[in-house]
Structure 1
Amino acid sequence: MTIFLRLMKESDKQSAMVSAISASRAGLSDDRVFHADPIDFKIIPGAPFSYWVNQSIRSAFIKHTRFESEGRTAKQGLATADDNRFLRVWWEVMPSATDWYCFAKGGAHSQHYADVYLMVNWTSDGAEIKNNLNEKGGIRSNVWMLKDTAPKFFFRPGLTWPLRTNGLSFRVIPSQCIFGHKGPVGFSSSDDELSLLGLSAVLNSKPFGYLVSLQLARTELAQSYEVGLIQQTPVPELNSSQQADLAVLAHRAWSLKRSLDSIEETSHAFALPAALRACLGDYDPPAINVELVRIQAEIDAIAFDLYGFSDADRAAVQGDQGAVNEGDAEVSADDEGDDEDDAPPIDQTAGLLSWAVGVAFGRFDWRLATNERAAPAEPAPFDPLPAKSPGMLPDGAAPFHAHAGILVDDQGHPHDLARLTEEVLARVDAPVPEDVRRWQQRDFFAFHLQRYSKSRRKAPIYWPMSTTSGHYTLWVYYPSLTSQTLYTAINDFVEPKLKQVGDDVTALRNKGSARTRDDDKQFETLHDFEKELIELRDTLLKLAPTYKPNHDDGVQISAAPLWPLFRHKPWQKLLKDTWAKLEKGDYDWAHLAMNYWPERVREKCKTDKSLAIAHALEDLYIGPEAAPKKTRGRKKAGGDE
């Protein structure tokens, strides 16, 4: 036996070490002193230096089968090697698109449930990704390593987890999804809900998490929960009764977590904003969180029994997990900043106003809040994710307000966004703030941009295109964007407004010497406004003839040619930089690049098969000539020429 000292919790480690050694020499009990045979370390895969773990806990690796057995398996997923090109957040993709699939790519810590908010371009079984080559002719993606994974495991239901989080967490991945290398997935051979939910409960239990942490040797905790690590962690055998009990608990936890997500506009589960969520029945987040804690405690108790942990083992696990996590707080709480799940809670008034804007644009359905439409039934955990959330306006339903994809900040106009927002709030009996227009002018877009940004993608769907001063703003709805949108803006909004202002300017000018001081001020203001409107019209006229957006390009590229029309400085700068990269040729896979620089893109398609596929110009592609095979000459008899 070897004596080990554990002083992780001690602030004065020198004094603690002296004290622990003295206690050991005196034969006194000290919870900082451990006796272990190093040969026993080999019981745990990788033989970590886990001296503080007793033999009964180590024996779990002997008594129970590994995860990678009994019809279970875990797989690493796809790395696109160019996320900007191949990934989108789901609200960028039109519901009618058939070649984009939900994509699980890590994320923040969340047990049982987490929304899958990304989508991947998997046209023709990922042909573009598979033919995206580096300078040496090798495939940039890891897709070449996944020849067996893609056909066998993509689109199957399973349990995914993020590779890097403070604490391991497994959650449902619905069917018809593709998964990423930062969001590996565990599968059951049967693919049935009962076995997967039962497994979800076990994998999210404290004993399973503890057995994983032992293999990480503490200092590596929260660094990387690799597939191999999960594959070799023991899982207890469940009889049908145990599996059913655990599945019920996991399903309930999934349902509760999903209900908490039903107030998030960007979630597939969204129904209503927090201020109106009670219209659909009881919604009490504190009570939900209390129940989630109770469910987790029940799962842990069952799992401890299944693993055969004694009371002393359980106490050791409970105590050690706190110590194990100590010092790891600086590790990123999400997957390298891939999402913003840890953002501060959204102000209820701002969330309500944002939803009302969405109703005005025809995105969301106000009738859920008035009980004119019943909320859709909760889906099963592994059902494919919907193209629209429950709170969105169903196909074929009449919108709150008919429009052509543009609303305007113009008091008295029939498409005035502020007035429509107020009407939405009044329709659902919600309080109407006094400063709706001011909020939309000053605060809304920054709020919207932050809320609709995830996984390093900034994808706002309400675009404010303004005059230089910002006194006149056209709000363009991205899902309704077409090659005619700018013409609509000119003909239906800017020109009529320009005529109205021009008439007012002419009327004041014609007053001549009869103008009062107030008239002069108004004349000057209107004259300046007229010049701004002319500038806006001329900019739109310059952009409109060549602007042919394609939603597959995503929000950022679609908005890039319009960068001079945005006044929010961070967004304008991002779009200006994006436009510069488009001009340079960095994004020649985009449809907009083909639209503006067809000769350049077509020339590249001749040597880049991935680009040729992206633009449906495979007939232009000319593959490299195959290198001639070297042949050996035969020796003649006798070796003479």
Structure 2
Amino acid sequence: MNKDSETPSALNTALPAKEGAEKYFFRASAEDFKKIPGSPIAYWIKSTHLFEGEKIGDSFVSGGRNKTHDNGKYLRFFWEVRCHNERWISYANGGDFRKYAGNELQHVDWSDKAISFYDSQGGLCNPKYWNKEGITWSLITSAINSFRIKPTYSQYSSGSPTIFNEKFQCDKKALAFLNSPISYYYLKAINPTLNTTVNDVFALPFPDEIIPKMVIKNTDRCIDVSKEDWNAFETSWDFTGLPLLNPDYRKSTLMASYQKLRTYWQEMTLEMQQLEEENNRIFIEAYGLQDELTPDVPLHEITLTCNPHYRYGKNKTEKEYEILQRTDTIKELISYAIGCMMGRYSLDHPGLIYAHSGNIDFDPLKYKIFPADDDGIIPIMDIDWFKDDATKKFVEFVKIAFPPETFDGNLEFIADNLNPKANESPEDTIRRYFSTIFFKDHMKTYKKRPIYWLFSSGKQKAFECLVYLHRYNESTLSRMRSSYVTPLQGNISARIEFLDHEKDSATNASSQKKIQKQIDVLKKKQVELQSFDDELRHYADMRISLDLDDGVKVNYEKFGNLLAEKKAITGK
């Protein structure tokens, strides 16, 4: 149902008493109000007799609540900690408007010590509800709520109320009903606030026996589609690879591959819309609300990330949606390529390849098609100083990931979607993106808890590089200094000397001025780089180690002014 259709008049449910002045008054039985839990004054509600029958609360129990009482200490995004770490488990903790599946970003400390602390603070639910399947949602919502399956492998917070049936299985009829306009229709009567509590949900009429089994089949498919969509992005624990590189959508060119994938996404979105609307028709008929509600689900409420109407919000043109989605798809390709450079992903194998700690047990043999970087240090320079910087490695990645004969066109397609400047080569556009935009996008994607850390000399960008959090070790800073910073100092000095000779040889004032401008820029970089090197040497000598269990925020503070966006990440 459209989010704007929240008022009684929009729902078309109130009956005029008389013509004339009295047409603004409505007849409603006081006895009907009493049938609604809490007896709210919801004069537009029809089929109130259903409240006298079976309700959600008759078939479900509340899972109680889990509360850490210190989220900064006990919650992490899953990418912050070492993978296959039994201390941390998936944690439903509210999240965006998303139906059926997803919103699985956070992990909670589930060690014996942490559990004991939660229990001592009254923040631990009954263990019989641990590792059980149920239905969950976000307690606070800005408009329509969304209900999702809670998997067996996750726990849940007080921000994600969770209910269970006696079989501890997700009741597909109930899940579909809760995501229907009927649920929203009644919830607005029971509790018109932005908080949807367990008691609100329990009060909803749910005559299970009159709901056809077809709903189950439709809902199973809705869950599958939602999971597939969720897992198509890096921020899913079950991400296996970039859809753009999937053989199912692979064409001879990157543009053709994108177009085929885009068509598939459109089909997914329309299928989800059809499934939801079919379920809605079934519920509306079963509840006798044909005159009050419609089964229509607007595109911006089809909660798939591959659906641009949902991802970017409503009220945009189709051209705007296409540009936004195509640009983000190219940026996701670049992010995935960085992951392959770092060894997080591999073109040889699906899924997460390396996300341990300290570069321990890193196996270069898992990256034969496109070799991972030796040290997990990738320069992202605005000038072409290094043979293994991000731009050059990405160009090589494109050559390998797609047919080499289509390389030039593929690189142009990538650059065309990164806001190229006039007379800028595709490689220069990509270099500028890495130098100025990539880390901002990475911060946004990873919720200000980046896995690729940006070491930066400062405003002049004399030296910048990415370091993969999970491959960082005590020798990383020394390696950064000896392999990159020290050689760069020599290269800049040599370049300044060369330009000085060029300036002396210049035959006109215009050429001399142009060369002097280059020299001035390099001298500023030289001063900045020397200051950075002094601090880098200091921290390299300290041989700093990381404890990934402490999270990105704590570990990011350990490096003084060497890291970019420190305040945005640490708050200090």
Question: Which TM-score band (shorter chain)?
Answer: 0.7 to 0.9
* SS at structure 2 position matched to 1:561: helix
Instruction: Give the aligned partner of residue 176 of structure 1.
Output: 153
How far residue 250 of structure 1 moved from its aligned partner, in angstroms, is 1.1
Indicate whether 1:253 and 2:230 are aligned. no
Change (3 A) 1:508 1:451: closer
Indicate whether 1:437 and 2:410 are aligned. no
Equivalent AA in structure 1 for residue 130 of structure 2:
F
Instruction: Give the aligned partner of residue 618 of structure 1.
Output: none
How far residue 446 of structure 1 moved from its aligned partner, in angstroms, is 1.4
Task: Pick from 516, 519, 537 the counterpart of residue 541 of structure 1.
Answer: 537
Indicate whether 1:295 and 2:275 are aligned. yes
Instruction: Give the aligned partner of residue 559 of structure 1.
Output: 556
Indicate whether 1:493 and 2:484 are aligned. yes
Is the CA contact (8 Å cut-off) linking 1:90 and 1:117 kept in structure 2? yes
Aligned mates of 2:547, 2:172 — CA distance in 1: 40
Aligned mates of 1:386, 1:301 — CA distance in 2: 45
Change (3 A) 1:238 1:91: farther
Instruction: Give the aligned partner of residue 29 of structure 2.
Output: 37
Provide TM-score, normalisation by structure 1: 0.67
Instruction: Give the aligned partner of residue 97 of structure 1.
Output: 85
Instruction: Give the aligned partner of residue 550 of structure 1.
Output: 547
1:305-344 equivalences under 5 Å are 305=285, 308-310=286-288, 313-318=289-294
Task: Pick from 257, 264, 273 the counterpart of residue 233 of structure 2.
Answer: 264
Instruction: Give the aligned partner of residue 470 of structure 1.
Output: 461
Provide TM-score, normalisation by structure 2: 0.75
Aligned mates of 2:457, 2:269 — CA distance in 1: 47
Task: Pick from 384, 387, 394 the counterpart of residue 421 of structure 1.
Answer: 394
* SS at structure 2 position matched to 1:230: helix
Change (3 A) 1:159 1:523: same
Equivalent AA in structure 2 for residue 555 of structure 1:
V
Change (3 A) 1:443 1:231: same
* SS at structure 2 position matched to 1:258: helix
Indicate whether 1:237 and 2:208 are aligned. yes
Aligned mates of 2:521, 2:181 — CA distance in 1: 68
* SS at structure 2 position matched to 1:403: coil
Indicate whether 1:158 and 2:134 are aligned. yes
Change (3 A) 1:154 1:94: same
Indicate whether 1:187 and 2:177 are aligned. no
1:447-458 equivalences under 5 Å are 447-453=441-447, 458=448
Instruction: Give the aligned partner of residue 255 of structure 2.
Output: none
Change (3 A) 1:474 1:182: same
How far residue 548 of structure 1 moved from its aligned partner, in angstroms, is 2.3
Indicate whether 1:400 and 2:371 are aligned. yes
Equivalent AA in structure 2 for residue 207 of structure 1:
I
Is the CA contact (8 Å cut-off) linking 2:65 and 2:161 kept in structure 1? yes
How far residue 43 of structure 1 moved from its aligned partner, in angstroms, is 1.1
Is the CA contact (8 Å cut-off) linking 1:105 and 1:180 kept in structure 2? yes
Is the CA contact (8 Å cut-off) linking 2:69 and 2:123 kept in structure 1? no
Aligned mates of 1:236, 1:22 — CA distance in 2: 34
Change (3 A) 1:75 1:342: farther
* SS at structure 2 position matched to 1:164: coil
Instruction: Give the aligned partner of residue 446 of structure 1.
Output: 440
* SS at structure 2 position matched to 1:178: strand
Could you list the per-position Cα deviations for residues 289-334 of structure 1 after superposition, in whole angstroms to 9, with x for gaps in the alignment? 22112111221233345xx433xx3222449x99xxxxxxxxxx9x
Instruction: Give the aligned partner of residue 381 of structure 1.
Output: none
Gap regions ≥5 residues in structure 2 = 1-5, 251-259, 298-302, 304-309, 314-323, 356-361, 416-425, 507-511
Could you list the per-position Cα deviations for residues 263-296 of structure 1 after superposition, in whole angstroms to 9, with x for gaps in the alignment? 4322235455565567458742222222112111
Instruction: Give the aligned partner of residue 78 of structure 1.
Output: 66
Equivalent AA in structure 2 for residue 488 of structure 1:
R
Equivalent AA in structure 2 for residue 164 of structure 1:
I
Could you list the per-position Cα deviations for residues 153-190 of structure 1 after superposition, in whole angstroms to 9, with x for gaps in the alignment? 13211111111221132111211211011111121221
Equivalent AA in structure 2 for residue 558 of structure 1:
N
Could you list the per-position Cα deviations for residues 489-524 of structure 1 after superposition, in whole angstroms to 9, with x for gaps in the alignment? 122322333345556678899x8x996467987776
Gap regions ≥5 residues in structure 1 = 1-5, 11-16, 132-138, 323-332, 334-339, 368-372, 377-384, 579-641
Task: Pick from 361, 364, 370 the counterpart of residue 342 of structure 2.
Answer: 361
Instruction: Give the aligned partner of residue 67 of structure 1.
Output: 56
Aligned mates of 1:394, 1:156 — CA distance in 2: 36
Change (3 A) 1:124 1:508: same
Instruction: Give the aligned partner of residue 200 of structure 1.
Output: 175
Paired residue total:
492
Change (3 A) 1:396 1:159: farther
Is the CA contact (8 Å cut-off) linking 1:154 and 1:179 kept in structure 2? no
Could you list the per-position Cα deviations for residues 56-77 of structure 1 after superposition, in whole angstroms to 9, with x for gaps in the alignment? x11112222x22334x212342
Instruction: Give the aligned partner of residue 333 of structure 2.
Output: 352
1:125-136 equivalences under 5 Å are 126-127=114-115, 129-130=117-118
Aligned mates of 1:197, 1:403 — CA distance in 2: 48
Aligned mates of 1:424, 1:101 — CA distance in 2: 34
Could you list the per-position Cα deviations for residues 430-457 of structure 1 after superposition, in whole angstroms to 9, with x for gaps in the alignment? 722312111111111112112211xxxx
Could you list the per-position Cα deviations for residues 577-621 of structure 1 after superposition, in whole angstroms to 9, with x for gaps in the alignment? 53xxxxxxxxxxxxxxxxxxxxxxxxxxxxxxxxxxxxxxxxxxx
* SS at structure 1 position matched to 2:122: helix
CA RMSD of aligned residues (A): 4.0
Aligned mates of 2:31, 2:16 — CA distance in 1: 24
* SS at structure 1 position matched to 2:195: coil
Is the CA contact (8 Å cut-off) linking 2:87 and 2:111 kept in structure 1? yes
Could you list the per-position Cα deviations for residues 82-121 of structure 1 after superposition, in whole angstroms to 9, with x for gaps in the alignment? 2222211111122132211111111122221223111111
Indicate whether 1:144 and 2:127 are aligned. no
Aligned mates of 1:438, 1:493 — CA distance in 2: 20
Look at both structures and tell me which one has the larger radius of gyration over its CA atoms.
1
Is the CA contact (8 Å cut-off) linking 2:92 and 2:160 kept in structure 1? yes
Change (3 A) 1:386 1:464: closer
* SS at structure 2 position matched to 1:235: coil
Aligned mates of 1:199, 1:395 — CA distance in 2: 48
How far residue 529 of structure 1 moved from its aligned partner, in angstroms, is 4.3
Could you list the per-position Cα deviations for residues 514-551 of structure 1 after superposition, in whole angstroms to 9, with x for gaps in the alignment? 96467987776665544433322211121234422211
